[in-house]
Amino acid sequence: MLLMSRSGRLTPALAVEKLGVQFPQPTGTIFAVREASLSVQAAECVGIVGESGSGKTQIFMAAMGLLAAAARTDGSVRFEGREILGSPPAELNRIRGSKLTMVFQDPMTSLTPHLRIGTQLAEVLVSHSQMSWHDAERAALRILERVRVPEPRRRLRQYPHELSGGMRQRVMIGMSLLCEPSLLIADEPTTALDMTVQAHIIDLFRAMREESRMAIVLISHDLGVVAGLADRIIVMYGGRVVESGRARHILQRAEHPYTAELLKCVPDLKGPRLDRMPSLAGQAPSPSSIERGWAFAPRCPRADARCRVERPLLREFPAAAHQVACHFPLSS
């Protein structure tokens, strides 16, 4: 991957290397992300999966410069080859919202309540591409049509509270597409919506992928959401990447015991009916603790004494393009 980026032909859209995110607290530092490395190629859809607190969101908050003021970071985040970790807001504002955009989890609270939909959409274009308000409103109308908002002309004049949750999420997605971004980060874009609306939003993402050549990062705790969309899946645990590979391989032949456990938790409509919802035994590791041995060892059915003292490094197994951090991958 490094070689390819040096050749200059295939610079990844986003390259995160050995990123660490810490939050110093009076009671001790919280390590939200530890030495996480990942990359997103142009026009690729990457799913990031992990439990709450696994650090999946914090990686991209760091990339967008949205971390809380107290946060400390180390490592590197490059967007289209340029280092963006810790750049001043004025510099970040040139790319975020235009080349690098983000859709948040809760569409009910992500739109400014007192501004009309049309104003909020047009504002992005006016500030990023110096468009006139008139042109920007026309572009806003087109984008609402593109994200399949019914009666787009009327919506432009409406306020956020007059729209349903699914509609607002479409508006948010539309807003993130306005400037033709090269990377769209969607942070649990369907979690706050109900099931049928979720399906529509996922369909919309699929359509957006086919229509444009942007890269998408889909952050979710739900493998089911990611499964249908992602080319590659990255699994995170305790602030670290534990497995990454082609979506098909991860879903069918997961190597990491944690991924396998996560897959068991996805309800299967065709399978036999279970009396209990399957769930992962044990608790997610505390991000404030100093790591001793491998954080997943206490919950892992395959762990032995070695895992308790030595943290496995991310290595290519069983083939290139598939990485796993485990001493005893499932197919070994």
Partner 1 sequence: MSAVQRLRSNIGAVCALAIIVALISLALVGPLFNPNNIESLDWAHVAAEPGLIGAHWFGTDRLGRDLFARTLEGTRVSLAVGLAASAISLGVGIIYGAVAGYVGGRTDHLMMRFIEVLSGLPLIFFVIFLTVIFGRSQYLLFLTIGAVGWLTMARIVRGQTLSIRQREFIEAAVASGAGSARIIFKHVIPNLLGPVIVYATLTVPQIILFESFLSFLGLGVQEPHSSLGTLIAEGAGEMEAAPWILVVPGSFLALLLLCMNILGDGLRDALDVKER
List of residues contacting partner 1 (CB under 8 A): 64-66, 69, 89-90, 92-98, 101-102, 104, 106, 109-115, 123-124, 127-128, 161, 172, 175-176
CB atoms within 10 A of CB 282: 10
- The DSSP-derived string for 74-119 is EEEEEETTEE-TT--HHHHHHHBTTTEEEE-S-TTTSS-TTS-HHH
Closest approach of partner 1 to the CB of residue 123, in Å: 7
Measured from the CB atom, is 175 or 307 closer to partner 1? 175
Compare residues 60 and 258 and give the one whose CB is closer to partner 1: 60
Give every CB contact of residue 13 below 8 A, 6+ residues apart in sequence: 40, 41, 42, 44, 79, 80, 182, 183, 215
Q: How far is the CB of 88 from partner 1 (least distance, A)?
A: 11
> Which of residues 184 and 324 has its CB atom nearest to partner 1 in the complex?
184
**Least gap, CB of 168 to partner 1 (angstroms):** 11
Count H helices, E strands: the chain?
12, 12
C-beta closer to partner 1: residue 123 or 137: 123
User: Edge-to-edge, what's the strand order for the sheet holding 323-324?
Assistant: 100-103, 183-187, 215-220, 45-49, 232-237, 240-246, 323-324, 315-316
Amino acid present at 124: V
Q: How far is the CB of 64 from partner 1 (least distance, A)?
A: 6
Shortest distance (Å) from residue 190 CB to partner 1: 16
Kindly tell me which of 26 and 271 has the beta carbon lying closer to partner 1.
26
Residue closer to partner 1, measured from CB, 105 or 244 = 105
Supply the minimum distance, in Å, between the C-beta of residue 124 and partner 1. 5
| Phi and psi torsions of 33, nearest 5° | -130, 135
* Distance in angstroms (rounded) separating the CA atoms of residues 33 and 238: 8
| Whole-angstrom distance, CA of residue 7 vs CA of residue 73 | 28
Cα–Cα dist 137/201, whole Å? 24
* Minimum CB distance to partner 1, residue 122 (Å): 12
C-alpha distances (whole Å) from 82 to each of 7, 10, 76, 89 are 15, 14, 10, 15
CB nearer to partner 1: pick between 71 and 330? 71
